[in-house]
């Protein structure tokens, strides 16, 4: 029987977001103020999601696992501490760009970002395999879904919209349709329409129409 995968949606979204950030960094002319501001805006969103994911995973995924088996959760808490330190340093280097940097200076930031992306992808790949297995061993699907409900309940709507922006383009149409059907059934109409407007700008016309039809 196919089990509920707690980490699949945010991890797919973060892979997509980091890919977008790395791509844009590699294309940016660092003496061009407009291009630099575009890069900084994207970095604001991506690093916000990275931090939000670490916080919610610690609180609503790893802490419940720690209560069941402390040794099972411990290495992931440690990884998160190391990753956050790297994130902070890298985000600061992007935030301090002001259009006076040379392309060589920007290239060093790009290479550091690529190194971070590689390490982060290794980290979440390990979580998708090993941590997911531990979660499924210690919790039923119903319990895992309750963890997700708690995450949604404490999340600000602006943060939820940002997650939709990056998760939806990274998942299959039927996965997105299922989530959006559930959201439509439980959220105010204006909230559902805000989500639809957000994802429409991130998808091709064909992808968007297919999701709407599936809903």
Strand ranges inside 10-161, DSSP E: none
Domain extent for 65:
8-156
User: Does a structural domain hold residue 137?
Assistant: yes
102 and 189 share a domain? no
Confidence category of residue 1, pLDDT binned at 50, 70, 90: confident
**Is the full-model pTM beyond 0.85?**
yes
CATH code (residue 79): 1.20.120.520
Residue 214 neighbours by CB under 8 Å, 6+ apart:
173, 174, 176, 177
Considering the domain architecture, whether residues 112 and 72 belong to the same structural domain is answered as yes
Q: 34 pLDDT exceeds 90?
A: yes
User: Do 209 and 114 share a domain, yes or no?
Assistant: no
Q: Does residue 208 have a pLDDT over 90?
A: yes
Count up the domains in the chain and report the number.
2
Rounded to an integer, the average pLDDT of 77-87 is 95
> Both 148 and 204 in a single domain?
no
What are the distances in angstroms from CA 213 to CA 173, 180, 195, 206, 207? 10, 12, 16, 11, 10
Each residue of 133-169: b (16+ CB within 10 Å) or e? ebbeebbeeeebeebeeebeeeeeeeebebbbbbbbb
Pair 146, 188 in one domain: no
Residue 209 and residue 132 share a domain: no
pLDDT for residue 55: 97
**13 lies in the same domain as 115:** yes
Residue 184 lies in a domain: yes
Over residues 143-169, mean pLDDT: 96
Token pair for residue 65?
Answer: 């696992």
Q: Please check whether residues 119 and 194 belong to one and the same domain.
A: no
The contacts of residue 42 (CB under 8 Å, 6+ apart) are 20, 21, 24
Is the same domain home to 195 and 116? no
């Amino acid at each position: 029987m196919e089990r509920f995968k707690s980490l699949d949606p945010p991890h797919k979204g973060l892979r997509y977001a980091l890919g977008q950030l790395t791509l844009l960094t590699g294309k940016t002319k660092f003496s061009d103020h407009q291009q630099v501001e575009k890069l900084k805006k994207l970095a604001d969103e991506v690093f916000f999601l990275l931090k939000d994911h670490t916080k919610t995973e610690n609180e609503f995924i790893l802490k419940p696992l720690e209560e069941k088996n402390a040794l099972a959760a411990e290495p992931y808490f440690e990884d998160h501490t190391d990753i956050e330190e790297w994130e902070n340093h890298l985000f600061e280097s992007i935030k301090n760009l002001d259009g006076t940097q040379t392309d060589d200076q920007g290239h060093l930031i790009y290479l550091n970002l690529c190194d971070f992306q590689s390490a982060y992808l290794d980290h979440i790949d390990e979580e998708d395999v090993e941590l997911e297995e531990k979660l499924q061993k210690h919790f039923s699907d119903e319990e895992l879904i309750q963890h997700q409900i708690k995450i949604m309940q404490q999340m600000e709507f602006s943060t939820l919209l940002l997650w939709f922006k990056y998760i939806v383009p990274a998942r299959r149409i039927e996965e997105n349709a299922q989530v959006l059907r559930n959201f439509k059934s439980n959220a105010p109409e204006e909230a559902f329409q805000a989500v639809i407007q957000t994802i429409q700008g991130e998808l091709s016309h064909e992808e968007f129409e297919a999701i709407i039809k599936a809903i």
